[in-house]
Amino acid sequence: MLALSRRWPEPEADYRRWHRERAHNDFGLGAVRLVRVDTYLWVANMIGQHGMRTGSKGPPVRYDAIDRALTEVGRRALELEASVHMPRIGCGLAGGNWGRVEPLVLERLSACGVQVTVYDHD
For 56-114, what is each residue's pLDDT tens digit?
677 889 999 999 999 999 999 999 999 999 999 999 889 899 999 999 999 999 999 99
> Would you state the pLDDT for residue 122?
64
Q: Name the residue type at position 81.
A: E
Mean predicted confidence (pLDDT) in 46-54: 86
Mean pLDDT across 8-29: 96
pTM: 0.92
pLDDT at 28: 97
Measured CA to CA in angstroms, residue 120 lies from 16, 59, 69, 90, 113 at distances of 25, 21, 21, 13, 22
Q: What is the pLDDT of residue 1?
A: 74
Integer CA distances (angstroms), 16 to 1, 38, 67, 88, 116, in order: 13, 20, 22, 22, 27
